[in-house]
Chain A
Amino acid sequence: DAKTTQPNSMESNEEEPVHLPCNHSTISGTDYIHWYRQLPSQGPEYVIHGLTSNVNNRMASLAIAEDRKSSTLILHRATLRDAAVYYCILRDPRAGKSTFGDGTTLTVKP
């Protein structure tokens, strides 16, 4: 499995944008970049995914570097409910399993 590295923790103020980075220097051409988040005592929740182009959905935006070796999850206006552990993983649909790294714990201050 290709590995990802993320900062252990980040802080943000409520209603401010948050940029969560992820490095994946060994990404292969068929890997999709996926982001999930996990609230305490819950299963992870899908946030967004992309392959090469930047992506937007109702939850967040995903900016992918041109060389695909890094990406950034962007929460445009953080709310208290966005406080969670955010995981960036690589998914090759043909290969099946994916390994989760330690993720980034996002704290949102009111």
Chain B
Amino acid sequence: GAVVSQHPSWVICKSGTSVKIECRSLDFQATTMFWYRQFPKQSLMLMATSNEGSKATYEQGVEKDKFLINHASLTLSTLTVTSAHPEDSSFYICSASKASANTGELFFGEGSRLTVL
């Protein structure tokens, strides 16, 4: 099967600091990765689409300077929450689709819970 791993699974930080979350596809190449955030009892909200070797495409209303996304290789994308504030506390989830797939199946990471104090 295809495995996507996120790290860290949870993080607590002070307001004003930056936090980096990694998303790795462990056994396949992913030209495209997606980043979501999810608030309690709500659905996943797509934040951005991360393409290997190019700039990420952000959804409307998502600040690209606050949520920095880097997709430097076919197996790694990172999301950095800069100058985090309590309202950024959320569950962040990444997903990836196989470069070779023709049906678009998504493989999700375990999620990273961010708590900003």
Chain A residues within 8 Å of B, Cβ to Cβ: 32, 34, 36, 41-46, 49, 51, 87, 91-93, 96-103
Contact of A41 with B106 at beta-carbon distance under 8 Å, contacts A97-B49, A102-B43, A103-B43 already known: no
A92 and B104 contacting across the interface, CB-CB below 8 Å: yes
| Interface range for B | 20 to 34
A37 to B58 CA separation, bound complex (whole angstroms): 25
Which residues of B are interface residues toward A (Cβ below 8 A)? 4, 6, 32, 34, 36, 42-46, 49, 91, 93, 95, 97, 101-111, 113
B1 → chain A closest CB, angstroms: 9
Given contacts A41-B91, A43-B108, A46-B106, 14 further A-B contacts (CB under 8 A): A34-B105, A34-B106, A36-B106, A43-B4, A43-B6, A43-B111, A44-B44, A49-B104, A92-B104, A93-B104, A97-B34, A97-B49, A98-B106, A101-B43
Candidates B43, B97, B101; contact of A100 at CB < 8 Å? B43
A-B contact pairs, 19 of them (CB 8 A): A32-B103, A32-B104, A34-B106, A36-B108, A41-B111, A41-B113, A42-B110, A43-B4, A43-B6, A43-B108, A46-B107, A49-B103, A49-B105, A87-B43, A91-B104, A91-B105, A92-B104, A98-B104, A98-B106
- Asked if A91 contacts B101 (CB within 8 A), the reply is no
A45 and B108 form a contact (CB under 8 A): yes
Whether B110 and A93, one on each chain, are in contact in the complex, defined by CB atoms closer than 8 angstroms, is: no
With the chains together, A102 CA to B108 CA distance in Å? 17
